[in-house]
Amino acid sequence: MRQLLSFLYGSLLFAVCQAQEEYTCPAIGGEPVEITIPASGGKISLEIAKSKKNTVCNLFRVVAKEGKDIDNFSGNSSNDNFILEPVARSFHKKPWQQIKGPYATRTKVRSCNKLQCTVKIPIARTGNYKYVLVTSGHALKNVNEERARFLSQTTFGPTMTDITDWDHGDGLTGFANYLEKQIAMPATLHREYWRKHMDYAIRNEHIRESTQVPMHPCNQYSRWRDYSFTAGDYGKEFKVEAIQVDGAGEMLMISVLDADTVRSGLNYYEPRTVNATFQPFDDDCTVPGKEDYCGTGEYQTCYGFSEGIGGNINYRPKDRLDLGCRNMRNPKIFLPAEVWSQNTANGGHMVAVGLPAKDKFEEMPGVIAELRPYWFVGQSLRMTVDNWSAVQCPALLDENLKWDFRYLTGFVGETGEQLHYDGYAVILENTVENPFSDGGLFKEGYSSNGYLPCANSVMDFTNMDSCVLSPGDGCVPVEISVDRWAITNEAKEGVLVCGSHGEVANNPGFEDKYDNNMFRMFDTGRSVFFNGFGQQKGSVWAQIALEADDQLRQRIAWAFSQILVITPYQIDESQELSECFLNYHDIFVRNAFGNYRDILKEVAYSPMMGEMLSYQESRSGAYVERVEERVSRPDENFAREIMQLFTIGVNRLKIDGSEMKVKTDDGRSSIPTYDNSDIQNFARAWTGLRRHARRGNFEGRWADRNRINPMVVEGARRDQFPKMDLFKNYIGDGYPECTDLPEKQYLRIGATYRLLGSHNFALMHFEEWNWPNNVNLLRLSLNTTSALYQELCHPDGSESGPCDFKPQVHISSNLACDKNECNLDTVRVVQVGEDPPVYYEYLKPACVEFAFENSKKLKKIADRRDNAMCVNKKINDAAMPVCCGASTTWVTSECNYSMERVSYKTNEERCPVDGNIGVCSWQNVHFPNPQGQHCNFNGVYEENYRTFHWTNETCSIQARVTKEGTVAIVHDPNMDINSVLAEDNQQKVMHLVNSTNINFFKVNWKGGEHPSAENNCGTAECELVDDECLCAVSVKRRRLFKTVPPLKFTEYLVHGAPDIAALDDGKYTKSADSTDDVDVYHKTGKTEYGTSTIFSVVRNEKRIFLKNYISRVIIAGSTYEFRNPVSMMSLVNPETRDAHYETDAVLDHYFYHPNTPTFIAMRLIERFGNSNPSPRYITAVSKSFTSGKYVKTK
């Protein structure tokens, strides 16, 4: 494992070793020693003594700026006159070494002895420069200085107490002990910290848009207010009307229009208070022009609110945008009995409740929203008693209220003082470690009309190990709900419930610290906390940096956040959101001591990164062509940035951080790691990602975007064609060919099953939105006698008792088939158990398909939209079976479960069982009665899912070659059927692979030569069409090795094979030729090294199996040939499962690229206090990154 823990020892302890061994230098501050430069130029060899103890000696190339004389340079010279370019250095008696600088890579350190080294440097013939030696140094005086230096790298700054109370031991042992203790500390998650301290109001009708629930009025910490207007009233209409009050005469009642009732056509005005007068606080209503703002009438609030009695409220006459806003003071709540009587008579919504005495409330101060007078929000009174049980409280639990307390008024103790309920939110715990037991179903009734969405997360790679089945009814995630646009939540027993990292409950007892974006306050688009919202995430980071005990983890997380950056201003509503930014930062907090590969994957799937670099919703060109009938290219932003900034950098590096160079006509040039064609190529690998559907219990509104959960991949939108890697091989190399997987792979080693729960909607296979819970959908039900059933029901190996369903089950031994299973080629979703039913989804192991095949391996398949294409006859998950009778006008398709796929051989074997004549070239497919056995459960062609069926027609594949040498796949199926089909029902080649498709990809031509218009395509077997060559091809497999190869030569083996253990016993035998590094397997009974020979090696920390051949594509009638590309995506059924496999393979390619350890090591070192690390330092950290360990013995 490439553990980032190794970086700590490789970086921090490395620096400590330098400090402990004391860096000093002879003649510190002395005049630089000038190197004699020959006039002839060229290279000179210098014998330079190593630096002395506690010194660093630098060799600089000093260049005089324009108009300055190099002879005037001295140790006291100004940097304004000269440029010092570092060339090499020696420190603390260490050998000389080249360092960063424009001349570093041309400087060579030759032999060294105990006293000196030979340094070879390049000398230009002319120039206003010289070479000098400069020494400097600093010795750490005591252990406190050593500890201070160490802690300055491992924390955000030590205190004197941290230094003087050090109790971890002395020297390197003490530093190592400190690191181990820091690593063992629990992580302080930023999202968790913010949620615990979050305290915000759900105002009025915004409860309908909330993803959280309001606190119950009877509970401790419930909030109340004594002022009339809230920040949520911005832009609302209100009216002032006269009312007779007993003992006071005529007074003025202020009522605010409830926007929610406007939508329903009721136009209900909610009484807020009764006052003697109504006018601006600083205006005289007798002044001409000011009377429009006074007395009875209809008004509208405008910019500027302050929550609190006497606070600022801006308003103007209704529908008079020509008039400016005036200020009035926020009035105290006073609703006399006459208001309540009127409310009852008019069928109003107001509800009253008794409250405890005023001394049972504590004042919660407001927060300044703008740096202007009277603009503050959040002032409230917080109830301190627990479970207030006045008579009125139980009535509030009445089902009809639906937790809608917006019109609730409380009467305080015996004084009768009135308070309005202030609906501060409650967010509940739904962590990965402790997900909602019912998925958040209880929240459905919390708001009016059940508007709160389900809080349950869909299973993904970040939470799958802790997902559980709900013991009773559970909330089905909106993502897989029967109706994704339904208002109310779907409930089922035994739903799979999953949590989210850091999704803890808030603590209303905390002092106010953080608010939440619930609505926009101002018509300028600014939120209530224009400054506050934007600064909250920074405030959380600062508080944790100052207070958290896990300083090392936070420091590392900060370093990674500086490398894998998201820019707030490229995220919509970034000034109004906190939780999604903090959740992104937590990727680095959680994985600080883990594997950089895990960080890379979480970042790649992050909806925040997807939004910032615009690759979310990026779709393949073929998908856009089919759906929108236009030409489109995938977004390239992330494909570029993940290479340039996150993994390999722009130029090839040596392990010490220096650049590799290649000789050119202009001298020596850097070697790029990628070019623009690579960016375009890899952009296709980042298609198909989108955000998950909305859910509840995190910051945002009901219909807001889900920026919390990792993005989901839609296989139908992923580019399906081969993708060349950065070394002219292909993404997918090393994986077995799909046709090589053993029969009934779903029962063999390597098969994986993911729990779906009682909801049978597949997540890793494509399924249309209207498929879930369809009564006609037939899933394969396993018998209790089945070995697969037992494996899924009792994964621990027990044979009795209730089932113990695990989120994921890996088949670890080959299983026997049972009854109907023996008739299947593969499975999709299987049912285990009845009450409630529990489903698992089968995940076939990652495998590849060749882009080109010889025609004898192919058959034509066709769908009900008259599309045809070619597919390998051995592929068992591409096409449905078709059985032909006496007529081919209508043929029958029957399966054992919905969407069953079979190989061509199985199709042939099934048909005679029913007395049919076999497979034919059919015109139309008949689906049997839904209650019987069927393939497509409703007989309807789904827009995104291709229901292909086998035919007995021949097929061939051609190559279309551009002048640049890129290639497109062209299928050429037999189309004789069109002679009997109506003109408007003619079969056509699928757009993906027809003769005009533009789905070109890079190939590796032998010798770089290929057919083109310039050479008239080079052969009569190619046709020149629109400056491109359409060529017949053949495929040949060439043996690579006649004996067991050395490990380094196995890099030429690119085609994978299945795990030997998954094959039938006795099919292969291990050869005695096997070495410590390379295992050899021959088919039993054979000893010759042929194309069937399998080698096994460890590559990229995993044991893989490789075939002893290379597949080549030959242009017919020529010597042109190229390596046969492979793809992890099927051209027939682009499954989500395979898109995930391909994404992992792409990430592995970046991660295991030889540049990545050094590139990331250099960036981490820079962020831990060394902006110019030595090559030795970089090498040590790079090796630690690669090996997963760092050892320092002295």
CA dist 308 → 204, 356, 357, 365 (Å)? 17, 21, 20, 9
| CA–CA gap between residue 724 and residue 1005 (Å, rounded) | 12
Instruction: Calculate the average pLDDT of the chain.
Output: 85
Tell me: the pLDDT tens digits for 429-468? 999 999 988 887 655 444 334 456 788 888 999 999 999 9
Sign of CA dihedral 797, 800, 803, 804: negative
CA dist 480 → 434, 461, 636, 813, 944 (Å)? 22, 17, 30, 32, 17
Higher pLDDT, 228 or 53: 228
Q: Are 418 and 411 in contact (CB under 8 A)?
A: yes
Kindly state the percentage of the chain with pLDDT values over 70: 85
Tell me: the pLDDT tens digits for 1004-1027? 999 999 999 999 998 889 999 999
| CA–CA gap between residue 382 and residue 988 (Å, rounded) | 71
| Strand locations in 661-751 (E) | 661-664, 667-670, 689-690, 712-713
Q: Are 759 and 491 in contact (CB under 8 A)?
A: no
Structure tokens at 1145: 């393979």
Arithmetic mean of pLDDT, 694-712 = 80
* Complete DSSP assignment for 315-336: EEETT-TTSPPEEEE-PBP---
Structure tokens at 745: 């792979």
Q: Which of 76-90, 654-668, 1004-1018 has the highest mean pLDDT?
A: 1004-1018
Best CA proximity match to 1007, nearest among 855, 1112, 1159:
1112
| CA–CA gap between residue 463 and residue 590 (Å, rounded) | 13
Tell me: the pLDDT tens digits for 149-168? 999 999 999 999 999 999 99
For residue 1006, the tally of other CB atoms under 10 A from its CB is 13
Chain centroid offset of residue 366 CA: 37
Tell me: the pLDDT tens digits for 708-733? 999 999 999 999 999 999 999 999 99
At position 1053, the amino acid (one-letter code) is: L
pLDDT at residue number 704: 60
The residues pairing with 858 across neighbouring beta strands, listed in sequence order, are 872
* Complete DSSP assignment for 112-145: E-SSEEEEEEEE-SS-SEEEEEEEE-----SHHH
Give the DSSP H/E element, type plus range, for residue 603: helix 596-605
Coil, helix or strand at residue 819: helix
pLDDT at residue number 430: 92
Coil, helix or strand at residue 757: strand
pLDDT category, 375, cuts 50, 70, 90? Answer: low
Tell me: the pLDDT tens digits for 192-247? 999 998 876 665 445 555 566 777 788 888 889 999 998 778 888 999 999 999 99
For residue 775, the tally of other CB atoms under 10 A from its CB is 9
**pLDDT of 677 over the 50 cut:** yes
Cβ-based neighbours of 352, under 8 Å, separated by 6 or more: 340, 392, 408, 409, 410, 411
Chain centroid offset of residue 631 CA: 27
Higher pLDDT, 314 or 367: 314
Angle 868-873-875 from CA coordinates, rounded to 5°: 95
Q: Are 756 and 763 in contact (CB under 8 A)?
A: yes
Structure tokens at 795: 């994964």
pLDDT category, 22, cuts 50, 70, 90? Answer: very low
The helix-helix angle for 579-590 and 190-197 (nearest 10°) equals: 140
Q: Are 135 and 56 in contact (CB under 8 A)?
A: yes
For residue 461, the tally of other CB atoms under 10 A from its CB is 13
Tell me: the pLDDT tens digits for 325-365? 888 999 999 999 999 998 888 777 788 888 888 889 988 87
Give the DSSP H/E element, type plus range, for residue 6: helix 4-7
Arithmetic mean of pLDDT, 941-947 = 54
**pLDDT of 399 over the 50 cut:** no
Arithmetic mean of pLDDT, 735-750 = 97
pLDDT at residue number 666: 75
Q: Are 1036 and 850 in contact (CB under 8 A)?
A: no
Q: Where does 659-812 have alpha helices with state H?
A: 676-683, 787-793
DSSP state of 639: H
Q: Are 1185 and 5 in contact (CB under 8 A)?
A: no
Angle 743-744-745 from CA coordinates, rounded to 5°: 90
Q: Worst-scoring range by mean pLDDT, 6-15, 76-85, 258-267, 390-399?
A: 6-15
Cβ-based neighbours of 582, under 8 Å, separated by 6 or more: 190, 191, 193, 194, 502, 537, 540
Q: Which of 298-302, 686-690, 944-948 has the highest mean pLDDT?
A: 686-690
Name the one residue in this structure whose structure tokens are 């070239």. Answer: 921
Q: Are 620 and 634 in contact (CB under 8 A)?
A: yes
Q: Which of 411-415, 1104-1108, 1181-1185 has the highest mean pLDDT?
A: 1104-1108
**pLDDT of 15 over the 50 cut:** no
Q: Where does 21-157 have alpha helices with state H?
A: 143-154
Best CA proximity match to 37, nearest among 62, 13, 12, 54:
62
Name the one residue in this structure whose structure tokens are 């029957």. Answer: 894
At position 330, the amino acid (one-letter code) is: N
Best CA proximity match to 638, nearest among 611, 674, 619, 662:
611
Coil, helix or strand at residue 580: helix
pLDDT at residue number 668: 77
Its pTM surpasses 0.85: yes
The residues pairing with 550 across neighbouring beta strands, listed in sequence order, are none
| CA–CA gap between residue 93 and residue 107 (Å, rounded) | 20
Q: How large is the C-alpha radius of gyration of the chain?
A: 36
Kindly state the percentage of the chain with pLDDT values over 90: 51
**pLDDT of 409 over the 80 cut:** yes
Coil, helix or strand at residue 1104: strand
Q: Percentages helix, strand, coil for the chain, rounded to the nearest 5?
A: 25, 25, 50
For residue 173, the tally of other CB atoms under 10 A from its CB is 10
